[in-house]
Structure 1
Amino acid sequence: MTTDFSTGVREAEPGIVDEDDLDALPLRLGSDSLLWKYAGDVRMILGFQRLAGTENCIEQLAQGVEDHSIIFSDFLGRARRTGPPVMRTVYSDEPQRWGRRVRDFHRDIKGTIADGSRYHALNPELFYWAHATFVDQVLTMTDTFVRRLSYEEKVQIFEESKVWYQLYGVSPRSQPQTYEEFCDYWQSMCEKFVPTRTIVYATGYLRKGVPGPAWLPAPLWRVAARPLNGFLQTVITGTLPPEMRAVCELPWDDRKQRRYDRFAKFMRAVNPVVNKLPVRVLYVPWAYEGWARAGIDPRPLHNKPA
């Protein structure tokens, strides 16, 4: 890493790679990559809150979301608009076009944070952080809910993530160069987490329970929703880094940790069964399209536990 996050992010300037330089790079991820195997697996959805939450625990990114999106009125809609272009950067037969499209969504996302300093979504430090949360999701959710990854596989996924990042056409000046550096970088970013308005709002359902439909009396909903809230407050909260649970004031204890560990162990145990599902069911649509186009069944690939 050549630039410290706290220093680089305050430049608040976009770091866009020259188009000719980008076109000269033979960038593409393919069916032989671990990212293709796992990034579009439906079980990654269990990490949705870790992905969106860790992103928005960094003040500059959260402020950009608050200033330039409709997260407070259409939380799920924003997720649906963000996910497909990112997934198509991995699985499309035009990855650079989709990567640049993701980048260009962010050209005008800029403003100031509480201390008056500026931010820009295409600042390399801020843009790489957003990317890092997707990389972390693949690494963590696969290792937790699909199968244990070997050290070599984690290194491979990180190295493939460097190609993924290049497809966006944003400067890699803050990108870690090794998997070990990425782990250190991740921990250093977790230590910068703050309770932003965006993330406190987005995790309200984990503190208070999922709100019920207007037509159902509140006492009935509290009873009906108890299993759902128990699942969310154990499994979804369990996916979060301790630093995020702390800033979001999400209760956690050894008992919940044991329940979470048992659920994760169960998910890994049933992986051979889940892996027999039809590819259309096992993968999100954009990943399924990629596998179908390649004419490859991904289910027999990369299944041996570490």
Structure 2
Amino acid sequence: MSTDFDTGVREAEASILDEIAPEDLELRLGEDSLLWKFAGDIRMVLGFQRLAGCENCIEQLAKGVEDHSVIFSDFIGRARRTAPPVMRTIYSDDPYRWGHMVRDYHRNIKGTISDGSRYHALNPELFYWAHATFVDQVLYITDTFIRPLSRAEKEQIFEESKIWYQLYGVSPRSQPQTYDEFLRYWQSMTEKFVPTRTIVYATGYLRQGVPGPAWMPKPLWRLASAPLNAALRTVVIGTLPPEMRAVCDLEWSPRRQRNFDRFAAVMRAANPVFNRLPLRWLYVPWAFEGWTRTGADPRRLHN
């Protein structure tokens, strides 16, 4: 990496790559890649809070979300609008169009953070951090809930993620070049986590419980929702890095860790069952479209 995060992010300038070399026009991921196999697997939903949470523990990114999105009024809607173009950057037959669409959504996302310094969503350091959380999700959720990945497979997913990033058309100056560099980069970024307004809001349901329907009396909802809240606090908080648990004031214990480990083991043991599900059930719609278009059956690949 030629620029460290703290230095580069304060430039607060977009770094867009509009020129594409002719030899790169066919750059894309395909059904033989591990990213195709895992990124669109429905089990990735188990990492939604890890992905979105880690993103928003970095102040510049969280402030961009706070200033320019509807996260506080339409949290689920925002997630639904974010996922399709990102997934289609992997699975579409026109990945440049979708990748550049994702990039161009961010052209005017800029402002200032608490110390008065500026941010810009297309600053390479900030944009790569957002991408890194998607890469981490694929690595972590696959290894934890689908099946253990070998070292070579983790390296392959990271190398494929570099192609994925190129499809966005943003400078790669802050991108790690090897899997080991990525691991060091990830650890260094978690050490920068702070309790931003965005992430404290987004994890409120884990501290206070899931809000009940307006028509149900609160005492009754507290009783009815107790198993749901217990499960969410074990499974969702269990996926989070310790640094995120700390800044979000999310309680954890050895007992919860044991329960989480049991759940993860059951999910991995169930992988052969998942691989017998109809393709439409196993993959999110945008991934299903890609597999259908190619005619390949991912249930028989990379198992």
Q: TM-score, normalised by structure 1?
A: 0.98
> Which secondary structure state, in structure 2, belongs to the residue aligned with residue 11 of structure 1?
coil
Match of 1:139 in 2: 139
Structure 1 runs of 4+ with >4 Å offset: none
Amino acid at match of 1:253: S
Aligned partner of 1:244 in structure 2 is 244
Is this contact kept in 2: 1:50–1:239, CA < 8 A? yes
Tell me the residue number matched to 2:233: 233
Q: Is the contact between residue 22 and residue 169 of structure 1 (CA under 8 Å) also seen in structure 2?
A: no
Distance 1:44 1:20 in 2: 31
Residue 26 of structure 1 corresponds to 26
Match for residue 4 of structure 1?
4
1:102 equivalenced with 2:120 (yes/no): no
Tell me by how many angstroms 1:24 deviates: 3.8
The residue that corresponds to 2:14 in the other structure is 14
Counterpart contact for 1:55–1:62, Cα < 8 Å:
yes
1:98 offset after TM fit, Å? 0.3
**Structure 1 match to 2:256:** 256
C-alpha distance in structure 1 between counterparts of 2:22 and 2:87, whole Å: 20
Deviation at 1:23, TM superposition (A): 7.5
Alignment partners' CA distance in 1, 2:156 and 2:292: 24
Q: How many residues align?
A: 303
Within 1, Cα distance between the matches of 2:288 and 2:56? 29
- CA shift for structure 1 position 274: 1.1
Give the secondary-structure state (helix, strand or coil) at the position aligned to 2:111. Answer: strand
Which residue is 1:58 aligned to?
A: 58
Q: Distance in 2 between matches of 1:22 and 1:196?
A: 42
What RMSD, in angstroms, separates the aligned Cα atoms of the two structures? 0.9
% identical equivalent positions = 77
| Alignment correspondent of 1:279 | 279
Change in CA separation of 1:22 and 1:112 when aligned onto 2, cut-off 3 Å: farther
Greater mean alpha carbon deviation, residues 25-34 or residues 59-68: 25-34
Residue 187 in structure 1 maps to residue 175 in structure 2: no
Q: Provide the C-alpha distance between the structure 2 equivalents of 1:43 and 1:231, rounded to a whole number of angstroms.
A: 16
Corresponding residue for residue 88 of structure 2: 88
1:27 Cα offset (Å): 1.1
Structure 1 residue 26, shift from structure 2 partner: 2.9
Q: Which residue of 2 aligns with 1:126?
A: 126
Mapped to 2, the partners of 1:280 and 1:234 lie a distance apart of: 28
CA distance in 1, matches of 2:121, 2:198: 16
